[in-house]
């Protein structure tokens, strides 16, 4: 967050009276493991009978900002959204979720009380508009006031939503970056692994949601992924994990110089470090992926079919002179190793037609959803 560092002293002088005058902390800190409250819909849709399989969907929804270009992406200068913008974007996100109709939804970059998204509670919005009756929210960035570009109050994190009751939820802290000054670190996102236990008609199933670090220069992301692996190794089956891992699959043919990287990002905090192809290998070696490495393939043509991320949308021309389109895979679904996924019902929802959807996900977020039908095995 460059502005924070440029104006650190002035900023501290500005907020010092607020610190003294208010009981609410300027930024949140968490313990290693903390319980999370279960949030329910205001009106319930009866859950289906205990299933042998679950349709699981993971999606980074970019705090319902759709294809607005923000200051931190360097392609635009937006900082805040109007409530009408947030509502329209959120309605479109919800429409696609309803079209897919998952039993379990794993969301990243959800906001519940943030100035930039007009203080809309997105978790409650999904609960109220879908048949997903139960939710747990895991905050990863909660600050009363973030000075950078006047961002203001932020409460952003990940969420697990389910048609089936959640009986327990927990926030598991991931290691923080060590390559930042103290002020930046305090007001920066603190990544976490969200864990919830579902009751499938008396059978316990564990679900995890995660969003790891993106711009670290100290291998924080690699350490976080190792932490996640360690947590999964001690989790009883059956379990499923999904989210934005900010790492690309082993065997990926492109690891640097993507079309959506703004030339001005080089030398800044928002320069994209080269991806380490070893980061995701243990997940493929020890777990069951919804999209296998065989399906991902060894050619650019096959790999393109499962790219999930692009900072820019189709109306922005990128650094390589091409309009924005998905250009790398960052989003995944994995389950315990004894599990299987129905290949014909598991896919990367890049565009209309994939798994029969009619909405264009490229217009809704900087990530597209990954959906899988998980055949739950112990």
Predicted pLDDT at 24: 74
The residue with tokens 């320069």 is 271
Per-residue tokens: 332: 């995944």
3-state secondary structure of 32: coil
- Backbone φ, ψ for residue 95 (5° rounding): -60, -40
CA distance 279 to 248: 8
Q: What are the DSSP calls for 49-114, one per residue?
A: SPPSEEEEEEEE-GGG-TTPPBGGGTS--B----HHHHHHHHHHHHHHHHHH--SEEEEEEEESS-
CA distance 276 to 218: 13
CA distance 360 to 363: 6
How many CB atoms are closer than 10 A to CB 352?
Answer: 12
Predicted pLDDT at 22: 53
3-state secondary structure of 334: strand
CA distance 374 to 186: 39
Per-residue tokens: 336: 């315990």
Predicted pLDDT at 272: 86
Q: What are the DSSP calls for 310-325, one per residue?
A: -SS-TTSB-TTS-B--
How far separated are the first and last CA of the chain, in Å rounded? 44
CA distance 78 to 314: 18
CA distance 102 to 305: 21
DSSP structural state of residue 174 = P
CA gyration radius, the chain: 20
Do 170 and 193 form a contact (C-beta atoms < 8 A)?
Answer: no
How many CB atoms are closer than 10 A to CB 52?
Answer: 10
- Whether the model clears a pTM of 0.85, i.e. scores above it, the answer is yes
Sequential pLDDT tens for the chain (378 residues):
444 444 443 344 344 444 434 567 888 888 999 999 999 998 877 877 878 899 999 999 999 999 999 988 889 999 999 999 999 999 999 999 999 999 999 999 999 999 999 999 999 999 999 999 999 999 999 998 887 778 889 999 999 999 999 999 999 999 998 988 888 888 888 999 999 999 998 899 999 999 999 999 999 999 999 999 999 999 999 999 999 999 999 999 999 999 999 999 888 888 888 899 999 999 999 999 999 999 999 999 999 999 999 999 999 999 999 999 999 999 999 999 989 999 999 999 999 999 999 999 999 999 999 999 999 876
């Amino acid at each position: 967050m460059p502005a924070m560092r440029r104006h650190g002293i002035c900023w501290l002088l500005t907020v010092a009276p607020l610190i003294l005058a208010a009981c609410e902390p300027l930024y949140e800190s968490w313990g290693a493991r903390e319980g999370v409250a279960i949030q329910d819909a205001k009106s319930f849709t009866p859950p289906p009978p205990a299933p042998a399989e679950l349709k699981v969907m993971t999606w980074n929804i970019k705090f319902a900002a759709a294809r607005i270009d923000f200051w931190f992406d360097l392609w635009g200068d937006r900082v805040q959204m109007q409530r009408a913008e947030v509502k329209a974007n959120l309605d479109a996100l919800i429409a696609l979720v309803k079209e897919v109709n998952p039993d379990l939804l794993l969301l990243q970059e959800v906001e519940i009380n943030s100035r930039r998204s007009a203080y809309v509670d997105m978790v409650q919005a999904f609960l109220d508009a879908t048949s997903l009756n139960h939710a747990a929210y895991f905050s990863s960035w909660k600050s009363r006031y973030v000075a950078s570009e006047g961002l203001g109050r932020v409460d952003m994190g990940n969420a697990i939503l389910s048609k089936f009751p959640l009986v327990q939820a927990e926030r598991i802290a991931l290691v923080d970056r060590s390559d930042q000054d103290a002020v930046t670190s305090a007001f920066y996102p603190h990544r976490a692994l969200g864990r919830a236990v579902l009751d499938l008609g008396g059978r316990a199933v564990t679900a995890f949601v995660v969003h790891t670090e993106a711009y670290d220069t100290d291998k924080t992301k690699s350490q976080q992924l190792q932490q996640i692996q360690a947590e999964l190794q001690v989790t009883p089956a059956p379990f499923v994990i999904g989210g934005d891992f900010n790492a690309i699959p082993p065997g990926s043919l492109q690891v640097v110089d993507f079309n959506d990287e703004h030339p001005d990002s080089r030398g800044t905090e928002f320069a994209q470090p080269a991806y380490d192809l070893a980061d995701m290998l243990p997940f493929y070696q020890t777990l069951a992926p919804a999209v296998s490495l065989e399906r991902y393939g060894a050619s650019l043509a096959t790999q393109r079919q499962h790219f999930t991320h692009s900072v820019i949308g189709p109306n922005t021309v990128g650094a390589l002179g091409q309009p924005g389109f998905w250009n790398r895979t960052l989003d995944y679904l994995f389950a315990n190793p004894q599990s299987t996924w129905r290949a014909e019902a598991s896919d990367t929802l890049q565009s209309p037609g994939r798994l029969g959807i009619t909405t264009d996900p490229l217009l809704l977020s900087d990530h597209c959803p990954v959906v899988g039908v998980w055949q739950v095995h112990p």
